[in-house]
Amino acid sequence: MQKMLAIIGGGAAGFFAAINAAELNPQLQVHVFEKGNAFLQKVKISGGGRCNITHACFDPQELIKFYPRGSKELLGPLYIFNPDHTIDWFRKRGIKIVKEDDGRMFPSTNTSQTITDCFLQETEKNNIHLHLQKGVQQIEKLDSGKWKLILSDKKEFVCDHLLITSGSSNQIWNMLKQLGHTIESPVASLFTFNIKDARIKDLMGVSVANAFCSIVNTKLNTAGPLLITHWGLSGPSILKLSAWAARELAAMHYQFQLKINFITESNYQSCLEILSANKKSSPKKTVQLTNNFNLPSRLYKSLCDHAEISATLNWSDISKEKIQLLAKNLTESIFDVNGKSNFKDEFVTCGGIKLYEVDFKTMQSKIHNNLFFAGEVLNIDAVTGGFNFQSAWTTGFIAATAIAEK
């Protein structure tokens, strides 16, 4: 008899798993239930409408370093399905994936429509049953081992295998709790820091090539490009920090102190020595025009202003205290962070099903037979760059393979 697979959630992981399961086992009848009024909504808007589909990092050992949560568990699955496989999967369906300088990868057409069109064509080709505006409101395990779903139109649907790809849905997490699963509470990841501070006021758009950012009184830190925005600080170093420190920052209610070294090549002491040497080497030069560290000149000037160094002050006339203050501003500036903002509407949640309750060889629940998970419903998340989709493709593929082979 034909086996039935029901997938809850018509997003990235749900579609990818549906297509792979149907291809691997044409005997399987695959149904995707989506509560919204369109499929693949996040894929559509992803990457600014271009869909940053994966990242040009092909060594699983390196790849897992981009996942604050899930790195250990994803290692094995990434040997089975990693960015190489993603590129190949789309190539076989006529889609070329191209790499940008920073490693992010996009469809060569530069539009996410290419990906959503591909998924929809593949579902049609594989006779996958798509159910739109059919939210799953209840999940029941039957004595037979099958699963019964109660849908938003009150209809019932019984299936042999159930794959949950509902993303960050509290409603589904609550149902899973009732089934005995444990949910790591959801908190935001990947956000920018709100800061009101004279040092960065009016400097929006200024960026620093490599800054070292750390959260005061913790061991949490990152290095990378930093961007000043009109509401505070952003850029890869801040986004990475927000992801790695997601739980700690939520516990601090996003009120904390951020320490920045704007010149990662020097610490306070070596910076002080370099600045002090200007007294001998360039006594007649004005301090504000001696930018030893090639910082953006507006930022350097602002940090000088903050050390009360006037625009006309020469190195010969500067006091030791002011040089110390400037060195501090350059290497150990402390900023009060007061809240967070979304990064370009891209919100990623950390939290979800605790990973030790899932067998990552099959993506099957360790609590219930024939219950599988893929994508953001799991407590897995990554920094920006295409890694979140890669996790959806990888876990979706593993689940599809296990279900198809059952």
The binding site for ligand FAD (CB under 6 A) comprises: 8-14, 33-36, 41-42, 45-47, 51-52, 135-136, 165-167, 169, 171-172, 345-348, 375-376, 386-389, 392
Inter-residue contact 383 to 243 (CB < 8 Å): yes
Nearer to ligand FAD, 103 or 296 (CB): 103
Question: Taking CB positions, which residue lies at the least distance from ligand FAD?
Answer: 11
Closest CA to 249 of 168, 339, 352: 339
Whether 351 contacts 244, CB under 8 Å: no
Output the DSSP codes for 48-117: HHT---EES---HHHHGGG-TBTHHHHHHHHHHS-HHHHHHHHHTTT--EEE-TTSEEEETT--THHHHH
Nearer to ligand FAD, 7 or 326 (CB): 7
**Alpha-carbon span 259 to 336, nearest angstrom:** 9
DSSP 109-149: T--THHHHHHHHHHHHHTT-EEETT--EEEEEE-TTS-EEE
Q: How many helices (H) and strands (E) does the chain have?
A: 13, 22
Distance CA 220, CA 374 (A): 29
Count CB atoms within 10 A of the CB of residue 258. Answer: 20
Task: Provide the angle, in degrees to the nearest 10, between the axes of the packed helices 12-24 and 113-125.
Answer: 30
How many whole angstroms separate alpha carbon 146 and alpha carbon 368? 11
Contacts of 351 (CB under 8 A, 6+ apart): 168, 183, 184, 185, 186, 187, 379
| Distance in angstroms (rounded) separating the CA atoms of residues 183 and 176 | 8
C-alpha to C-alpha distances, 115 to 24, 90, 263, 268, 385, nearest whole angstrom: 20, 9, 41, 49, 17
Query: Ramachandran region of residue 383, left (φ > 0), alpha (ψ -120 to 50) or beta?
Result: beta
b/e map 368-406, b = 16+ CB within 10 Å: bebbbbbbbbbbbbbbbbbbbbbbbbbbbbbbbbbbbeb
- The residue type at 118: C
Taking Cα atoms as reference points, which of 164, 62, 15, 13 lies closest to residue 385? 62
